[in-house]
Amino acid sequence: MKKLYLYNTLSRKKEEFKPIKTSSRPSPSKGEGEKRVVSFYHCGPTVYWTQHIGNLRGMVCADLIRRVFEYNGYKFKHVRNYTDVGHLTGDNLGDADSGEDRMEKAAKREKLDPQKIAEKYIKEFEKDTKELNILEPTKKPRATKYIKEMIGMIEVLIKKDFAYTTDLAVYFDITKAKDYTRLSGQKLEDCISGAGKGDVSDSQKKCPSDFALWFFKAGKHKNALQFWPSPFKSSLVKNGEGFPGWHIECSAMSKKLLGDTIDIHMGGIEHAPVHHTNEIAQSESANGVEFTKYWLHNEHLLVNNKKMAKSEGTGFSLSEVKDKGFSPSALRYFFLQAHYRSKQNFTWEAMEAAESGLRHLKNQIRELGFYDSKGVYIKISGEKYINDNFKNKFLEVINDDFNIPQALAIVQDLLKSDLTKNEKLSTIKDFNKVLGLGLDKPKQKRGLPVEIKNLIKSRKKARQEKNFKESDKLRDKIEKFGYIIEDTKDGMRIFKK
């Protein structure tokens, strides 16, 4: 295996990846010795609303990282959670313990119970991830299924004197955490003095920056729709009824499914100063060992160089992208053009360029001979045709902190090279294991509907008569049916999007 390097937010530098575990396989004599294992936890969505494409970009980034590890021969244990309780709206203001529970807000908005809200938006999210060709995680835990584990971790934190109870909540005392701000790089004094910009309504709280592990069904949460009994004591509720804070969920689920120490934890850059900082504090205080070796964070997707916002009408969903006539694969291709640690600017013009670029790339591959004269797909044989020189170049860039934009450039270099068709096709098929763009099998040609054939016939006539205005109108009609027209020196070509 070649060395793989990644940028660790915790150390603020690029490091060689060294896994915690290897697994032994039974037949070393057959070349099946040790296989290195990656434990990977990815902060998934809060399932109260349709996920915008900024969130989906984060999912594609994680998918690419997984594909790179698997391309390198690692076994990848991938956990991506669903938050279906405890994520409060104050997180938008930098205060994750204030505001209304997002699931309850959605339940009131749509007049459904929180469980049905979760099921609705999980289903919608998984449809989006499938269309974007994102691989299924090993485990997809829902927070509400791990309440027992969260309570158990909170009990340990109270016993070890890292947490304390008020009448409204159980809090983690950040002053007792070891090097609390090492992920964010903030000074603890600044963190404390600048805390509580949102709603701080608990007078018994020791420090404004202490964060909630458990909210009692009291105060502003007395009418909570989701609540469970607990062993924690409050004079305001019976049986400790309440619900978990957002941060404890990921700590409990990752511990249960991946162990006390994991290889990689990933999420959006916005999670580093609060959510991930708090995960480290509570996990390491409860478990007594390092929580995560490598922290990865993807940057934001902007729209017209501004922050995405539903209030501004720029929180676009995948459905809205499709309604504009763009394919999910074009959106994936657009995402691949920027490094995961770089901001990326979304515009409709950029999507047009991505759709055109991907179509051109697939047409280049079609020209190599994926299909015979009757349009039947030709199965490309084997690894023996994969070009080692290009494969090594490809590995070098993807193993350098997952440089996917440079990997796309290598694909173009490959297509321009003097390799044989079999070498090009086999090597591209191999690269597609990482890229996930369907380059290994472009869509098979099929017979066109009669309506489309008639439109093409009319357009050919219009072009022969040099009636280009009519020709353009007919092109638009054809494209509304989901087909792409290309005018070449050899004539008109049409492809299904």
Neighbouring C-alpha atoms within 13 Å toward the C-beta of 433 = 17
Q: Judge whether 230 and 214 are in contact, CB under 8 Å.
A: yes
Residue 473 Ramachandran class (φ > 0 left, ψ -120 to 50 alpha, else beta): alpha
Distance from the first to the final alpha carbon of the chain: 38
Separation CA 405–CA 5 (nearest Å):
16
Say if strands 344-346 and 301-303 run parallel, antiparallel, or are unpaired. Answer: parallel
The secondary element (H helix, E strand) that includes residue 411 is helix 404-416
Alpha carbon separation from 417 to 390, 403, 411, 414, 422 (Å, rounded): 10, 21, 10, 5, 12
Residue 191 marked ligand-binding = no
Separation CA 307–CA 301 (nearest Å):
7
Q: What is the dihedral of CA 436, 439, 441, 447, to 10 degrees?
A: 110
Separation CA 487–CA 490 (nearest Å):
8
Q: Judge whether 354 and 158 are in contact, CB under 8 Å.
A: no
Residue 61 marked ligand-binding = no
Q: Burial, 450: exposed, middle or buried (Cβ in 10 Å; 0-12, 13-18, 19+)?
A: exposed
- Give 225's DSSP letter: S
Q: Judge whether 72 and 346 are in contact, CB under 8 Å.
A: no
Q: Extract the tokens encoding 169.
A: 């909540």
Separation CA 340–CA 292 (nearest Å):
20
Residue 275 marked ligand-binding = yes
- Give 276's DSSP letter: I
Helices (H) and strands (E) in the chain, counts: 15, 16
Residue 312 marked ligand-binding = no
Bridge partners, 493 (sequence order): 486
Beta-carbon contacts of 379 under 8 Å, excluding residues fewer than 6 positions away, are none
The secondary element (H helix, E strand) that includes residue 426 is helix 421-435
User: Which positions make up the binding site?
Assistant: 43, 250, 275, 279, 310
User: Which positions make up the binding site for Zn(2+)?
Assistant: 43, 250, 275, 279
User: Which positions make up the binding site for ATP?
Assistant: 310
